Amino acid sequence: MNKTVYLDYSATTPQAPEVTEAISRWNREVFGNPSSQHSFGRAAKARIEEARDHLADHTGFLPKEIAFTSGGTESNNWALVGTVRAHRNKTMHIIVSAVEHPSLLKTAEYLQTVGYEVSYAQPTADGVVTAEEIARLIKKNTVLVSVMHVNNETGVINPVEEIGRLCRERGILFHCDAVQSFGKTGLKLNETGAGLITLSAHKIYGPKGCGALIIREGTALEPLLHGGGQEAGRRPGTENINGIIGFDAALALLNAEKDYSTVKKLQHYFERELSERFPFCRINGAAAARSPFISNVSFPGVDNESLLINLDLSGIAVSVGSACSSGSVRPSHVLQAMGLPAGLVNSTVRFSFGRHTTRDQLEYTLEKLKEILPRLRKKRS
């Protein structure tokens, strides 16, 4: 009998029951518009400020440095577009890494089409964006460097503290997309030196459609939206209070240290067994510091979309390439930037783990791979 095994926690995590309950309790009791002056409005506003205080405490920033957004995509767009608008200097140059999430890369490409100069920092063969590579690209007119902490496809960890230090020394604003590491690694966000940091709630068992941009005091950033005073006038529009309450409830449940050590053991087991049972497979980024929540694996001679479908038929959910919003898949720009040949890029799947992953589930996945891989390899040859 098929089991159901979810190994796509980097795409999203299941919303925790406590989060669902916190949101519905709120809606049963109070539902005010935080901008209203009566008691319903004041209660809603107070609840948002409470959530902001918690997130500020957790990240080591001040409450006024936290702006709630609709998630990682909006925060990444805002970081780039808001920065260049704040500088109003057409000759400015920005640096982004070539392995960023599409919400960052596509924004950089858009800025290029309207006249800004963008350089793309290339990763090493193991997928690491080094401070040396950033230093090589810095110019006199560089105003912003954007490098993610944990890569969402490979789990490779970038040396963001070092990059942050470099940027600070050169007087350049540093933006860090911490969506895949927030609540999962011990990184102290306020020690990265980043002036802007992107977070998303649905990667930590919170609701979809909510996140934050941390804006360090003194950072020049124009709003993307206009027409209201919410979020200190920086992000107008009636707040997503369900999302914010859910984000807050998810934050309260975080136990990063425990999750990290449990998942690390599981990843170690899974990767060791993969290498023993399928010696032809290749774990990408293996030599780099990596998050235990992601294993990016190439199975030479196997079409990754066929593998995904076959695993799905066995009840196992994984992902391939850079899934875009339409559900279609493009070959991974991350693996391409790491120099993997096209054949290997199209033979690669991402397994990602989380709070509910068990050794049993991984054993089941390994057994299913044993059935599926020989079939698919034969088909190709």
Ligand X SMILES: Cc1ncc(COP(=O)(O)O)c(C=O)c1O
Nearer to ligand X, 240 or 357 (CB): 240
111 SS3 class: helix
Q: Could you give the CA distance from residue 223 to residue 227 in angstroms, rounded to a whole number?
A: 10
77 near ligand X, judged by CB under 6 A: no
Answer for which of 83, 97, 130, 200 binds ligand X (CB under 6 A) is 200
CB of 210 to ligand X, least distance (A): 8
Instruction: Tell me which stretch binds ligand X (CB under 6 A): 45-53, 176-184, 288-296, 367-375.
Output: 176-184
158 near ligand X, judged by CB under 6 A: no
* Residue 210: active-site member: no
CB of 377 to ligand X, least distance (A): 30
Q: Cα angle vertex 249, ends 247, 254, to 5°?
A: 90
CB of 67 to ligand X, least distance (A): 14
Catalytic member of 167, 210, 281, 324: 324
CB atoms within 10 A of CB 242: 17
180 near ligand X, judged by CB under 6 A: yes
To which H or E segment does residue 145 belong? Answer: strand 142-146
Answer for which of 13, 15, 59, 73 binds ligand X (CB under 6 A) is 73
CB of 153 to ligand X, least distance (A): 9
**Terminus-to-terminus CA distance in the chain, angstroms?**
30
Q: Could you give the CA distance from residue 51 to residue 23 in angstroms, rounded to a whole number?
A: 13
101 near ligand X, judged by CB under 6 A: yes
Nearer to ligand X, 45 or 58 (CB): 58
Contact by Cβ (8 Å): 81, 92: no
Answer for which of 8, 65, 133, 177 binds ligand X (CB under 6 A) is 177
146 near ligand X, judged by CB under 6 A: no
CB of 73 to ligand X, least distance (A): 3
How far is CA 77 from its chain centroid?
14
Structure tokens given for 325: 């919003």
For CA atoms 123, 125, 126, 132, the dihedral sign is negative
Instruction: Tell me which stretch binds ligand X (CB under 6 A): 69-77, 244-252, 257-265, 284-292.
Output: 69-77
Contact by Cβ (8 Å): 370, 273: no
Nearer to ligand X, 67 or 376 (CB): 67
Amino acid at 293: F
Number of residues that bind ligand X (CB under 6 A): 14
Tell me the residue nearest to ligand X as measured from the CB: 72
CB of 129 to ligand X, least distance (A): 13
211 near ligand X, judged by CB under 6 A: yes
Contact by Cβ (8 Å): 340, 348: yes
152 near ligand X, judged by CB under 6 A: yes
Nearer to ligand X, 74 or 259 (CB): 74
127 near ligand X, judged by CB under 6 A: no
Structure tokens given for 73: 């995509």
Contact by Cβ (8 Å): 241, 34: yes
Q: Given the DSSP bridges, would you call strands 93-97 and 117-121 parallel, antiparallel or unpaired? A: parallel
346 SS3 class: coil
The burial class, CB within 10 Å (0-12 / 13-18 / 19+), for 240 is buried
71 near ligand X, judged by CB under 6 A: yes
72 near ligand X, judged by CB under 6 A: yes
- Catalytic residue numbers, as ranges: 324
